[in-house]
């Protein structure tokens, strides 16, 4: 299980840039990123190398942000890699609320998939029982 940061952003030009500038100034590396929007606001979902430092600098800059537990898995960067992983979710009866991807590390032949599920601990145990090995926060930080 890893910590995802969700940041609520006003839907206006420059707001996303303000957030990424804060990370750049504080040398926080974004490992995975997803952005969803509505008419009035957006939600940036991020996995970073140092989540606690990221939360501190976001709050100092008056951004509204919180942690959410998510699961992450490495999949082979090849046709069918995602399908094989999703079959394990189906077999374990784990429902996916949303997911997004990140490239693997520098020397990796894998992609990384991040999943939000309704009961993270129970889902993690069920997926481990299916033979999967979730990535840890340390694994993500080393990407």
Nearest-angstrom CA–CA distance, 29 and 51:
10
Answer yes or no: are the C-beta atoms of 110 and 74 closer than 8 Å.
Answer: yes
* Homologous superfamily in CATH for domain 69-134: ACT domain (3.30.70.260)
- What residue ranges of the chain are covered by domains with CATH 3.30.70.260? 69-134
Q: What is the pTM assigned to this prediction? A: 0.86
* pLDDT of the chain, 143 residues: tens digit per residue: 899 999 999 888 899 999 999 999 999 999 999 999 877 889 999 999 899 999 999 999 999 999 999 999 998 888 898 999 999 999 999 999 999 988 766 556 788 899 999 899 999 999 999 999 999 888 777 66
Answer yes or no: are the C-beta atoms of 36 and 87 closer than 8 Å.
Answer: no
Residue 58's pLDDT is 97
Strand partners, 112: 74, 102
- What residue ranges of the chain are covered by domains with CATH 3.30.2130.10? 2-68
Q: Which fold has domain 2-68?
A: VC0802-like (3.30.2130)
């Amino acid at each position: 299980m890893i910590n995802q940061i969700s940041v609520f952003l006003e839907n206006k030009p420059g707001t996303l840039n303000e957030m990424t500038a804060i990370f750049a100034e504080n040398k926080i590396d974004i490992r995975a990123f997803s952005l969803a929007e509505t008419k009035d606001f957006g939600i940036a979902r991020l996995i970073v190398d140092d989540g606690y430092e990221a939360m501190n600098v976001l709050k100092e800059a008056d951004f509204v942000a919180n942690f959410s537990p998510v699961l992450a898995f490495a999949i082979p960067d090849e046709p069918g890699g995602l399908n094989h992983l999703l079959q394990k979710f189906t077999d374990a009866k784990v429902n996916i609320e949303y997911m997004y991807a990140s490239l693997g590390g520098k020397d990796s032949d894998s992609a990384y998939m991040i999943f939000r599920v309704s009961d993270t601990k129970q889902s993690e145990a069920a997926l481990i029982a299916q033979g999967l090995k979730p990535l840890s926060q340390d694994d993500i930080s080393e990407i």
